[in-house]
Homo-oligomer: A and B are copies of this chain.
Amino acid sequence: MAVERYDIVIVGAGPVGLLLSTCLARWGYKIKHIDMRPQPTVTGRADGIQPRSLDLLRNMGLKRAIMANEPAKVYEVAFWDPQESAKGIHRTGTWASCPKFIDARYPFTTLLHQGLIERVFIDDLLKNGVKLQRSWRITGFSTDGVDKQYPVEVNMAHVDGVEQETVRAKYLFSGEGARSFVREQLGVGITHKDPIAHVWGVMDGVVRTDFPDIKMKCTIHSDAGSIMVIPREANMVRLYIQIASSTDVDWNPRKSATTEEVQEAAKKIMQPYWIEWDRIEWFSVYPIGQGIADRYTLDERVFMGGDCCHTHSPKAGQGMNTAFLDAQNLAWKIHHVESGFADRSILKSYESERKLIAENLLNFDSQYAKLFSQRLQPSAGEVGGDSTTNNRDVEKAAKGEAVASENEFIKMFKASCEFTSGYGVAYNPNIFNWSPSHPAQSPLFLSSAQGTTTQRTGRIMSPATVTRVADANVVHLEQEIPLNGSYRIYLFAGLPALTATAVADFAAHVMKKNSFYSSYIRPDAHSVNYHERHNPDSHFFTFATVLNAPRPAIDTKAMLPEVLVRYFDHVYADDVWDQRVPDAKAAAHAKMGLSEERGGVVVVRPDGYVGCVVQLVEGSGTVDALNGYFDSFCQKKVGGEGRALL
């Protein structure tokens, strides 16, 4: 009997496995997705969706289904500390969890039980024909190369041990979590950045209390210990409490605590306030140490992501969010290789990009966790009850101005806001993220370092509100192109009267033989559905044009060349006022740091991170630069010049 063949076998149906599966299923890949558990997460585990992750979920069209569960939203974090008079805790300050200096559409953390989040992905997978194979586990695998197209053999078994199955796949992905069979088999070690381990207690429940900030995220330090409060959906509250630390004299990683012990501890810590439990939803005690996998892949066939690659304290709510971004990063790279667009070598960048982020996360986490477990003595009046002072201070700090002295914890917290919100993710320069050392060289590349654009390569594009010309809808530009696996080419076309020639030249060179674009025209481009919005010409590119003109003054068919008219629903008027650039006449141009008159081209990777920014000029220069950029990783030779080496 022939062995069944799949594009990918995914092990584990937590956040990382599900997001990867969802992307690849939508893009048409054949997937086997197994999970040891008989059902989605029932209680507990991760529950914090950071602002950037909510953008991503929206970009996947899943945000509405998430929000239908009525999650809690955390806009502010409150700090509670002992009073000098020692009569219990008092609030020493509050801070926006995603302060105004971060340009976020959703400046809050969304708290929802992981199982409900998983279900949203599972429903979407079903729509795309992928059904999870539950109660199955991986028992072996090897990249034996027996079948060149499907080089990985994977063995699986039902958890009851009777049924067994062997399949072949192009890829194997482990989203198994911290205890990964795949990682163990590969012999990939874990490096512990911070040698200190902790035992945590976590308790979800419905409480009654007179503690006023019970619906806020709080860090509470007291003489009786420390606790973190996190609001949840359905009137629930999560409490995190540190039960033991490897720095304790009597350190025992197996130290535990009962529900009652944790409740008693919480009662003491929260004095002078009272707290009682109506119901306990979930309680768990677990030891956790910081760790990071030394490799994310050995052969670019067997990959790992999520908790399998990085473990850390649960406090900053980063686990699921980092997992989402691991999966998103890998998904489009596999897609670009398997669909014939990009060179196989781009798969190396999964590890280099994502491991850096995990390292940053662990650096952040160890400082954050250390500070959290310290008792802090706030100096009088340094924070007060007034968050506007804090806001002013951090805005100053963000601009590099001096601020009044603050305690270490708050300083750390503020500096970390960008990181915890998810907007701090910054990939280093590489083949995707242009820098002066990129193989593609042209004087037309703009760079944030030189101040010729505000858009930083390796970071997400700034959000901008514009008017869609086709239907006059006011829309969020950064959300207009869904996570469809395509590169996003934003043509900011400035003033139409000034750029008509440059735009026409851009289109003419884009359509020239061997251009990055014409090299990857869909074979069925002539018969694509009339209503196809995103990929009428190519599966690898979606174009969007933004004009500095009021919407009714834009006659798309008369003003734009044919290739841009094909993207009729992706033509926008930059005519919406923005509070962040109040004096701009074309706010989206201004936010991108581009000339409002002359425009520019912003190339965004399929995952929303900026690849490069190029000046818009008459002649072939703009497209030449883009050809150079894409030629550095495309399978086909693109543009007129010699192929850059990877």
Contacts and interface: CB of A to CB of B under 8 A. Distances in A.
Interface stretch (A117-125, A366-374, A546-554, A601-609): A546-554
Contacts of A439: none
A76 B387 contact: no
A553 B215 CA distance: 16
Interface stretch (A43-51, A65-73, A256-264, A349-357): A65-73
A476 to B, nearest CB: 13
B216 A552 contact: no
Contacts of A552: 76, 91, 93-94, 385-388
A212 interface: yes
Interface string A187-215: 00000000000000000001010101001
A526 interface: no
Interface string A517-560: 00000000000001100000000000000000011110111000
Interface residues of A, number: 43
Given A235-B531, A278-B530, A216 B388 contact: no
A579 B578 CA distance: 11
A471 B231 contact: yes
A67 B61 CA distance: 12
B471 A73 contact: yes
Interface in A401-423: none
Nearest to A76: B472
B474 A75 contact: yes
A550 B212 contact: no
Oligomer copy total: 2
Contact of A556 (B72, B212, B278, B555): B212
A350 B108 CA distance: 43
B212 A471 contact: no
A210 B568 CA distance: 11
Interface in A353-409: 385-388
A470 interface: yes
A473 interface: yes
Given A94-B472, A387-B551, A210 B557 contact: yes
Interface string A45-87: 0000000000000000000110110001111100000000000
Contacts of A387: 550-552
Contacts of A108: 473
Interface string A310-345: 000000000000000000000000000000000000
A208 B386 CA distance: 58
A473 B215 CA distance: 10
Nearest to A95: B552
A421 to B, nearest CB: 15
A212 B472 contact: no
A391 to B, nearest CB: 10
Contacts of A215: 470-471, 569
A386 B555 CA distance: 12
A382 to B, nearest CB: 14
A143 B215 CA distance: 52
B531 A75 contact: no
Interface string A449-471: 00000000000000000010011
Given A64-B64, A64-B68, 9 more contacts: A64-B67, A68-B68, A74-B472, A94-B472, A212-B557, A215-B470, A231-B471, A385-B552, A385-B553
Q: List the 6 closest pairs (A to B, CB-CB), nearest first.
A: A215-B471, A76-B472, A75-B472, A387-B552, A235-B531, A215-B470
